[in-house]
Amino acid sequence: MDSVGNLARSLVLRTNQVRLRDEMDKLAVEVSTGMTKDAGKHLGGDLTGLLAIDRSLSKLDAYRINTTEAAYLTGTMQTTLDEMQSRTQTLSQTLIAADLTPSGELLSTMSEDAKSTLGQMLSGMNRSVAGRFLFSGTATDRAAVAGIDDMMTELRTAVAGQTDLAGIEAALDVFFDAGGTYETTIYEGSANGLAPLRLSENETASVDIRATDPVFRELMKPIAMAALASDASLGFDEALQGKLLAKAGRDLLGAQKPLVELRAGLGALEGRIEETQTRNSAERTATSLAKLDLVGTDQYETAARYEAIRGQLESLYAITARSQRLSLAEYL
């Protein structure tokens, strides 16, 4: 009978230990999260409101990712366009004075400066963030345009045989126009633009600026003209070089306005993205508070209960150890 009683007592003690440990685990979760572990029991089995709130939070999390991505993309694009504007404005001011430059060496220096600017512009259009190329349309896995060496080779071929300003200008028009060599050979991205990013329930952002944009073509055309002016393989005389460089400077200055307008539109999009981020953040805060009202716990009270249960469990361990020692003494 004593052995049966000891087994029963041991079973009761173990059962209580398991119950108290489970209760402590539940309270530990509630203390750390601030939410009840058993939402169904807490809400009397009606989870409709909680499920609706969780769906809203999931959507807001997706919107947060999209707005962060959109802000990063537009910010990097804006930086790239700013660099282009700064460099091309400086170059245009230099080239305009080419008519007043009698020195062949100075003309050659201007032409080399234009070639360098063209190379930097191509590099800018090949900028990527997190392995994603910005100006390639949907082909975000590859660079948007070929490098400066390929560009110059194609440009030389396009103007070969031209001996005056009008002929060279016409050849460059064909080169940069829709369906021309720039679009079919130099551009290596996709003809399709990126799909708009969903920023909120009612807001989307179309971040689709490709290297084939007319703004870029109009910028590159005069820069290319200037880069070719002193190219040794073409053999233009100094008088023609001066005309090409001066004309390139005037055209490049005129091409600044569309670039400014493109940057302004991008800036407006950046502002809209920022406003949407703020609204989404406020909505997420309000939704999280609503969830807390439904299934939140009083953390002070929960922590006090946790300490009380821990004390009970420690006492139970002490009783169990004492009971085992007594049972061993009786057996001996």
Q: What is the pTM of this model?
A: 0.77
The single-letter code of the amino acid at 296 is: G
What pLDDT was estimated at residue 221?
A: 97
Q: Tokens 């009380």, residue?
A: 308
Q: Taking residues 157-166, what's their average pLDDT?
A: 93
What is the Cα–Cα distance from 46 to 53, expressed in whole angstroms?
A: 13
What is the Cα–Cα distance from 296 to 283, expressed in whole angstroms?
A: 18
* Secondary structure (DSSP) of 220-281: HHHHHHHHHHT-TTT---HHHHHHHHHHHHHHHHHTHHHHHHHHHHHHHHHHHHHHHHHHHH
What pLDDT was estimated at residue 68?
A: 92
All structural domains of the chain with their residue ranges: 1-34+307-332, 54-284
Top pLDDT among 211 and 131 is at 211
Q: For residue 77, give Cα distances in angstroms to 82, 195, 216.
A: 9, 17, 13
SS3 category, 145: strand
Question: 24 exposed, middle or buried (CB, 10 Å; 0-12, 13-18, 19+)?
Answer: middle
197 phi/psi in degrees, rounded to 5: -90, 135
What pLDDT was estimated at residue 312?
A: 66
Q: Which candidate, 195, 196, 200, 194, places its Cα nearest to that of 62?
A: 200
Fold category of 54-284 in CATH:
f41 fragment of flagellin, N-terminal domain (1.20.1330)
SS3 category, 323: helix
Top pLDDT among 95 and 293 is at 95
Contacts by residues 121-130 (CB-CB < 8 Å, ≥ 24 positions apart): 121/84, 121/87, 121/88, 121/216, 121/219, 121/220, 121/223, 122/146, 122/147, 122/148, 122/151, 124/80, 124/83, 124/84, 125/80, 125/211, 125/216, 127/76, 127/80, 129/72, 129/73, 129/76
Residue 11's contacts (CB-CB under 8 Å, 6 or more residues apart) are: none
Residue 111 — left, alpha, or beta (φ > 0 → left; ψ -120 to 50 → alpha)? Answer: alpha
Top pLDDT among 51 and 132 is at 132
What is the Cα–Cα distance from 86 to 34, expressed in whole angstroms?
A: 53
Contacts by residues 52-57 (CB-CB < 8 Å, ≥ 24 positions apart): 53/287, 53/290, 53/291, 53/294, 54/291, 56/283, 56/287, 57/284, 57/287, 57/288, 57/291
What pLDDT was estimated at residue 42?
A: 56
* Secondary structure (DSSP) of 52-100: HHHHHHHHHHHHHHHHHHHHHHHHHHHHHHHHHHHHHHHHHHHHHGGGG
Q: Which of 11-15, 120-124, 234-238, 272-276 has the lowest mean pLDDT?
A: 11-15
- The rounded mean pLDDT for the chain is 84
What pLDDT was estimated at residue 2?
A: 47
